[in-house]
Structure 1
Amino acid sequence: MTVLVTGSRGKVATTLIALLHEAGIAVRAASASPEKLSPPPEVATVKCALDDPADFPAALDSIDSVFLYAEPAQIGAFLAAAENAGVQHIVLLSSSSVLDPGAADNPVAASHLTVEQALADAAVQTTVLQPGAFAGNALQWRWALASTGGIDLPYPDSHGDPIDERDIAEAALAVLTQPWLRGASYHLTGPESLTFAEQIAILEDATGRPMPFNAVTREGWKESVRAYLPDAFAEGLLDYWASTDGSPVPLTRTVEELVGRPARMFAEWARENAAAFQA
């Protein structure tokens, strides 16, 4: 089996590449910028921008399975190229946001939902991973701490289910290598429902440094992120955070069922990444 891993600069993908390589499975690392990749020496790299169909035939040549990021721009062309290349199985990294009511009207969820629907209509067997918030999302707070000394939060008491990206990669390895797990959708969560304020407190304990946060308005937060996040996506995030403000989110044991051990706690992630938050 040879596996094509798209989006190979991402944390989930880089971890999955290492896991596949360690397991003796042939893997090809794909990226829009393959020259920026640093996989193990034996791992081949290939250019594959998921919005450029010209890249697809070479990237998919002799590939049996694909780990696919949810990019809707050219999903029809990608699936046609995959079928033409004889790909047998696609594992999609989607999002648990597709499970929310009104997902089709939320731009954060809609792009994932579009890809899921395209795969559901395709001839290639598909397995879907639907994780919640990545634990690594907390790294974005480094920049606010460095630039202003504090973190702006529109909903400090909004709950999330932070999942370690390594758990997602291990779940992907399981569904790629165990045929009886294929063809299903898996809702992946971390083991705890934590508010943003609780996550920050855990990070303070792990790093030994204060991380003050400020409760800000929706409009104030949108203005602070407008330079790099379109308003429509900002509104989608704000609506989700409002929906879980003060309300714990449902958790699953799917990581444990797939990989044979409980999902990692956010405190473990915080300890392992504490150095990234040092001033």
Structure 2
Amino acid sequence: MIFILATTEPHKIPATIISRTQRFDFKRIATSDIVEHLAYVLEKSNIEYSKEALNVIAQAAEGGMRDGLSILDQAISFSNGTITLENALEVTGSLTYDMMDRFIVACKQEEPATCLQLLDEMLTSGKEPRRLLENLLVYCRDLLIYQKAPQLLAEKAQHLTETFKQSAKEISAEQIYAFIDVLNEAQNEIRFSTNPRIYLEVAVVKLAGKGLSEETVTANQTVADSQEVTQLKEQITELQKEVTQLKEQIGQPQTQTQPAQNKEKKQQIRIIVYRKNVYFKF
């Protein structure tokens, strides 16, 4: 008889048990391995399939072979003898690359109305909000990986559209980071929400505001910096004039006939100097 003990906290297992057992660390199965096994099952069952459909199913399985086989079984029931990409998208509720291409392009061009319209189309077609966010996060991740290490997307190379490749060239890494932050925040907020659509719409409006091109952002920052420098120069010039006037007033000889008037002037000088954050010893 063999006893199998499973835990997600192996560090809490007492040493007396560890010394009498064998340890096996279970890891997520690679997407390519899931695709290969699903293809093997379908070939044994004489069912035709498209490689794109198996990739979608394997990604939705998130490293679990059992989940992948369950999704495959549902896709078979929706198919007419051939598992297509449409069958896989319908079963998993995933977005097509065309949908995500149009959405990200609208965000990049700062078109919130178009983004909200596309979101409405996705939700109306039956897409689940959480799955929608997951797909967009993966899409943004793919954009970033394509920029930095395109060879890591070899499995998806034949599925990447020209719009995707163009977006990867035009959208900066900083913009992608901002997209991911907004999507991740929305994903956390809708986790326990009874009305996730509200958070989705707010996130979409935020995304549409993150689409400024790098050149525009740099230009706006340069203008703002220039204006700030000009204001600082004007303030410095004004302070220099006031300090000069104060020095002249302090250096004037004082007469004994007007002690009260001189005392009042010194008080005024001290007040003016204090307000400008300049300190002198009188």
TM-score (norm 2): 0.25
Higher relative contact order (CA 8 A, sep 6+): 1
Tell which structure's C-alpha radius of gyration is larger: 2
Between Structure 1 and Structure 2, which shows a larger proportion of strand residues? 1
